[in-house]
Amino acid sequence: MANNTCLFCRIVAGDLPAHVVYESPDVLAFLDIRPIRTGHVQIIPREHFEYYDTIPLEILTEIVSVGQQLAPILRNLFEVKRVAFLFTGGDIPHAHAHVVPMVEATDITSKQYIVEQDITFQNRPRVPDSELSVTASSLRLMLQE
C-alpha cells in the first residue's frame, strides 16, 4: 500500500522525478540524488514496506538480483575494486537497498569503526539532473546487454 508521505512511494507514483536505471512491476532502481559516490543506486520495492524483512521473498530476490547485475557494471564504469550492497532504512522508512561504488573503505562504514568520537557528517551535495540523466542512461543500456 502506498504511503502519500513517503518519498519513495511518491517516486513510484510518479509524483517526484527519478533517474531510473531499472524497473519492473515490483521493483524500481534509480540514482541517488545525494550519492555517497557517483553511480550510487537505490533499489526499492514499488510497494511500501517499512522493513526489508517484511518484503516478500520473490521481490527481495529481484532486488538482490538487480544489485548483482549492477555491481560489475559499476565496478567497470567507475573503475573501483568493490561495490557495496546494503539494506538500510534509517533515513527513509521505505525498505531500500543501496548499491554504491566504493572509492574508499570508509564509504559505507559504521561509526563503531571510527576512532574520533566527535565525528560529524554533512549532507551530500545534490547532483545536477543533467549528470544523473547521463549516468542513468548508461546504466540502463548496460543492464540490457
The per-residue pLDDT for 112 is: 65
The per-residue pLDDT for 110 is: 67
In what helix (H) or strand (E) does residue 29 lie, and over which residues does it extend?
A: strand 27-31
pLDDT at 101 over 90: yes
Contacts of 83 (CB under 8 A, 6+ apart): 70, 71, 74, 75, 99, 100, 101, 102
pLDDT at 11 over 70: yes
pTM passes above 0.75: yes
pLDDT at 114 over 80: no
* 65-91: pLDDT as tens digits: 999 999 999 999 999 999 999 997 677
Active site residues: 96
User: CA–CA distance from 109 to each of 8, 25, 123 (Å)?
Assistant: 24, 32, 16
The mean pLDDT of the chain is 91
The fraction of the chain above a pLDDT of 70, given in percent, is 92
In what helix (H) or strand (E) does residue 97 lie, and over which residues does it extend?
A: strand 96-102
Smallest CA-to-CA distance from 7 within 89, 124, 98, 107 is with 89
* 45-56: pLDDT as tens digits: 999 999 999 999
**DSSP helix/strand/coil, 109:** coil
> If pLDDT is split at 50, 70 and 90, which confidence band does 123 have?
confident
Return the higher-pLDDT residue of 28 and 108.
28
